[in-house]
Amino acid sequence: MTDDINWNDYTLETQAIRAGHRRTHEDEHSIPIFTTSSYVFKSAEEAALRFTGQKPGNIYSRFTNPTVSAFQERLALMEKGERCLAFSSGMAAIMAVGMGLLKAGDHVVCSRGVFGNTVLMFQNYFGKFGVTTDFVDLIDSAAWEAAIKPNTRFLFLETPSNPLTEIADISLLADIAHKHGCLLVVDNCFCTPALQKPLELGADIIVHSATKYIDGQGRCVGGAVVASDEIIEKHIYPYLRTGGSTMSPFNAWVFLSGLETLAIRMKAHCDNAFELARWLEKQTGVDKVHYPGLPSHAQHQLAARQQSHFGGIVSFELTGGKDHAWKLIDATALLSITANLGDVKTTITHPATTTHGRLTPEVRAAAGIKDGLVRLSVGLENIEDIKKDILRGL
């Protein structure tokens, strides 16, 4: 039945619930987990045709598994991309983009405000093999353009940024990238396709940490790359097949059910975060609140144009620096002290000593991560209970 439907004719909410499942002869309603490492062929000839790709079908679960394929198909549709490949983690997805697209002598321009491990990936690992990376201010489009060299392969960014929620103008940066023959890679972890569709805005490649909002309940680690059929086929799929940073079928099954509730969860995350951000702005001891939904946010208009809602991440600076930040975090009774985000449970973290702790103080300062900064990934508990918990340490 599902095989006959053109899922492009449906909206994201419906794709999220129904696309990707090819019902088997058992007539199951829910997607099964295919725990098999290999597949059998009807004949030696058929085996040969599948290995060369002349005949579609499963070969080996490092690169073909029906549960993982269902997740890939569903996420590709939701992102309005031609094709998606799943990976063992968000970092493995970013690694795959680099391994697939870069060679020694190439250059990358990356936002200074990206996930800490992404900075380390470009600096320490791709750097080791002769790829150079320049880091620029996410919101300074002139700096992006000035950093592009003849050997620049792609621009890489996250928007909103973590933890300061700065917003990059995806269309503008896509135009700049294309003008200079580069690709634009966007880490869409914080918005998910429920709030923002970077490919529609001109980006070429999306990377995801499925660990966050796609799972939504903090259970599994996984990642994904979404792009055109050509980019995936030429650059990403050969790396996955050889490099082997594969998503497990069990994790794909968890992420598939995560996608089913993504749109309504994201809306609820955004509503709670907006309310909390407005409330935090009125509290004494709070210097500054970073949330794209606030009119005080420097790129509020851009966020309103580019995203359908403002996201679930709120950060704020305390007047009392690190001591006050640690005191507030330790005074909470309900919130989880963890660096993870995108969970139904509200999490609280001190970026300067956790997610961004391995950066040098200079790099951290340049990224604007102050010692008094606290980041919240606002969950789906009752907003009054969340406020009450934060008040304990304010």
Ligand X SMILES: *Cc1c(COP(=O)(O)O)cnc(C)c1O
Amino acid at 384: E
Residue 162 binds ligand X (CB under 6 A)? yes
Helix, strand or coil for residue 82?
Answer: coil
- Nearest-angstrom CA–CA distance, 148 and 19: 39
Q: Which residue's CB is nearer to ligand X, number 21 or number 375?
A: 375
| Interface positions, 282-311, toward ligand X (CB under 6 A) | none
Residue 90 binds ligand X (CB under 6 A)? yes
Q: Which residues contact 370 (CB under 8 A, 6 or more apart)?
A: 317, 321, 352
Cβ proximity of 223 and 88 under 8 Å: yes
DSSP E strand boundaries for 144-229: 152-158, 183-187, 205-209, 223-227
User: Judged by CB under 6 A, which of 15, 61, 67, 89 binds ligand X?
Assistant: 89
DSSP E strand boundaries for the chain: 83-87, 107-111, 132-136, 152-158, 183-187, 205-209, 223-227, 286-290, 313-318, 336-337, 347-349, 373-377
Residue 259 binds ligand X (CB under 6 A)? no
- DSSP calls for 316-383: EEETTHHHHHHHHHHH-SSSEE-S--S-SS-EEE-GGGTTTTTS-HHHHHHTT--TTEEEEE--SS-H
Contact code string over 109-138 relative to ligand X, x by CB under 6 A: ------x-----------------------
Q: Which residue's CB is nearer to ligand X, number 15 or number 118?
A: 118
Contact code string over 232-251 relative to ligand X, x by CB under 6 A: --------------------
- Nearest-angstrom CA–CA distance, 105 and 96: 18
Q: Which residue's CB is nearer to ligand X, number 311 or number 393?
A: 311
The structure tokens 């999490």 sit at 347
Q: Which residue's CB is nearer to ligand X, number 343 or number 371?
A: 343
- Nearest-angstrom CA–CA distance, 352 and 189: 20
Using CB positions, name the residue nearest to ligand X.
90
Give the nearest distance from C-beta 249 to ligand X in angstroms: 17
Give the nearest distance from C-beta 154 to ligand X in angstroms: 16
Give the nearest distance from C-beta 164 to ligand X in angstroms: 13
User: Judged by CB under 6 A, which of 173, 182, 185, 221 binds ligand X?
Assistant: 221
Residue 186 binds ligand X (CB under 6 A)? no
- Nearest-angstrom CA–CA distance, 229 and 2: 22
- Quick one: which segment of 86-94, 267-275, 345-353, 356-364 binds ligand X (CB under 6 A)? 86-94
User: Judged by CB under 6 A, which of 31, 77, 91, 348 binds ligand X?
Assistant: 91
Give the nearest distance from C-beta 65 to ligand X in angstroms: 19
Tokens read off for 254: 């968890």
Q: Which residue's CB is nearer to ligand X, number 96 or number 221?
A: 221
Give the nearest distance from C-beta 212 to ligand X in angstroms: 6
Tokens read off for 191: 């918005």
User: Judged by CB under 6 A, which of 21, 107, 197, 212 binds ligand X?
Assistant: 212
User: Judged by CB under 6 A, which of 209, 248, 272, 315 binds ligand X?
Assistant: 209
For residue 160, whether the previous peptide bond is cis, meaning omega lies within 30 degrees of 0, is yes
- Quick one: which segment of 57-65, 89-97, 313-321, 360-368 binds ligand X (CB under 6 A)? 89-97
Residue 100 binds ligand X (CB under 6 A)? no
Q: Which residues bind ligand X (CB under 6 A)?
A: 89-91, 115, 158, 162, 187, 189, 209, 211-212, 221, 223
